[in-house]
Structure 1
Amino acid sequence: MDRGCENYEMCIEDVGDEIWDMVKPVDPLSSTLADLVACKQGGTVGSMLIDVCGFWAHDKRENLLQEEEEPEEE
């Protein structure tokens, strides 16, 4: 695993927002195990919650995907 995440700065609200976006709970004020199972991303969410490197890996992946989708400027 790339341990470059050790110097990764983040805000706890960003982690919460990202998890909420992934899980999309039925109740906008709370999340349940059923929500976590239904989102089919429980492993990623668990990794993000227990290890900063899990969040870093997820966030880095999203940034790389966005870069690939952006058209190249000439």
Structure 2
Amino acid sequence: MLVQQYQGKGIGKKATQLMLEKMAKLPNAQKIVVGYDTENIGAHNLYRSLGFVDHGDRFVKKWPLLSF
């Protein structure tokens, strides 16, 4: 999570893209899963824009688990 003054500037997206690139190169990497509060629309939009897919799994009842 970024401090509010830095949100919406593409920083979180770029950082997440870099993390995904690094993780994809790990020899045993098969799937990357993230969870977020459904009320956090920014997180939802970020993960969807990066290719994460909601398969209907939930963590703590309402938190979607998205896979990449």
- TM-score normalized by the length of structure 1: 0.28
- TM-score normalized by the length of structure 2: 0.30
Larger Rg: 1
